[in-house]
Structure 1
C-alpha cells in the first residue's frame, strides 16, 4: 500500500517503457502508435528522483519528438514534479535505450520549464498529476503561444496521459487530442534501476 508522499512508488511506476499500441490499432484515425520511455537517472543529479523521458512515434523511436527530465519531490502532504528541458539535448537522444548516455547528464544541462510543475495526488490506487494552475506553462506551436493543459494517471499496470494546448485568452483548444487521453500499457520496467531510500 502506498500513500500521498510515496515518491519512490511513483518513480517506480513511471520508470518503464509504455505503448498505446492497442488503442492505436482500435482507432487509427484518432490515435497514433506512440511509445513513452522513462528511465531513472543517477541519484546524485538532484535530491529526490530524476527520470529521463523520451516520447516518440513507434516507427521513429530514434527521433523522439519530446524529451524531458522529470524531478519528483515530496512536497508538504503530496508530491511535486518539476519539468526540465535539456541544453544540447541532441547529445542525450536514445538515452532510454542506452543508459550509459544518461550518465553524462549534469545539472548544467538542466533548463527548468517555468510554470510547468505538476501537482501529484494519491487516489487510493493510482497517482494523478495535473499541471499547476495559472496558465503559465507556455508552449509555442505553429507560431502561436498557448498554455499547456496536461494531466496523467499512473498505477502499477497503466499510464494515461493527455496533453493539450489552449488559447491563453479564450481557453479554446488549439492543439492536442480531441478524442481523449492516450492509454498506455507498460511493456518493460526499469524499476530495478531505482534505489529506494
Structure 2
C-alpha cells in the first residue's frame, strides 16, 4: 500500500482529506442507466458530511433513491473515514433510519444526529488503497477483506452485504451487493459490475475541516 504523507495540522492525512472531498456530493448514474437499462436502475446517490466526530473520523451520511421515486430514498447509513496505520472506511447503521430519510437533500436534519443514534457494524470495514493520478489527485479503491462478513439487522433478520467502491475527483463506482447467506450469491446491487456514478453537486465545503 502507498505510504501516507503524514497528517496535516488538524490530524488528517492528505489522502484522507482527498477521499472525503471526493465522496462528499450528489451523484447520478444517468449515462449508465440509459445505455444498460436492463441491468442498471437510474439512481441518485447522496454523501452528506455529518457534523460529528467519532474518534478521529470524518463522517458522511449516505442514502440513495431511484429517479422515479426521488421522494423515497433508502439505504440510509453512515460512512466513517479514519486513519491510524492505514486508511480505512467504517460503516455504521442508523438505529432509526426513517428519522433521517431525505437528509441527503435536507442536511439540516443531520444537525440533530447524535452519537448514540448510530451503531458500528462489525465486519463492515473497508481497507483503502490508492494511486496517484497527479501530484495532488488520486484514485482510491476500498474493499472488504476476503474473510470479512458484513451484516446488519433488518426487520428481525440479518442481511449480508458485500461492500466496495472506487473514487476519483469526478466519479464514484459502487460495488455494493446484497448477499444470500445460504448460497453466497448476489441478490441485488452491482451484480453485473459496478454502478458508475458521476458527481453532479459538490458538498465538500460542508466537511468540518
TM-score between both structures, scaled by the size of structure 2: 0.82
Instruction: Describe the shift of the 1:142–1:90 C-alpha distance in structure 2 as closer, same or farther (beyond 3 A).
Output: closer
Residue of structure 1 in register with 2:28 after alignment: 19
Q: Distance in 2 between matches of 1:31 and 1:142?
A: 26
Corresponding residue for residue 186 of structure 1: 199
Q: Which residue of 1 aligns with 2:129?
A: 121
- The worse-fitting range, judged by mean Cα deviation, of 108-117 and 12-21 is 108-117
- Which residue is equivalent to 1:79? 87
Match of 2:162 among 149, 155, 166: 149
Partner Cα separation in structure 2 for residue 89 and residue 139 of structure 1: 13
Residues 3 and 188 of structure 1, relative CA distance in 2, 3 Å threshold? farther
Do residues 69 (structure 1) and 78 (structure 2) align? yes
- Unmatched tracts of structure 1, length 5 or more: none
Aligned residue number for residue 59 of structure 2? 50
User: Is the 8 Å Cα contact of residues 135 and 168 (structure 1) preserved in structure 2?
Assistant: no
Residue aligned with 2:37, SS: coil
Instruction: Specify whether residues 45 and 98 from structure 1 end up closer, same or farther in structure 2 by C-alpha distance, changes over 3 A only.
Output: farther
Provide the C-alpha distance between the structure 1 equivalents of 2:113 and 2:159, rounded to a whole number of angstroms.
29
- CA separation of 1:145/1:102 partners in 2, compared to 1, >3 Å: closer, same or farther? closer
Q: Give the superposed CA RMSD.
A: 2.5
Number of residue pairs the alignment of both structures matches: 194
TM-score, normalising length: structure 1: 0.87
Q: Which runs of 5+ in 2 are unaligned?
A: 5-12, 133-137
Contact 2:53–2:59, Cα closer than 8 Å, also in 1: no
**1:32/1:57 contact within 8 Å kept:** yes
The separation in 1 between residues aligned to 2:54 and 2:179, in whole angstroms, is 33
**For residues 182 and 12 of structure 1, what CA distance do their matches in structure 2 show?**
20
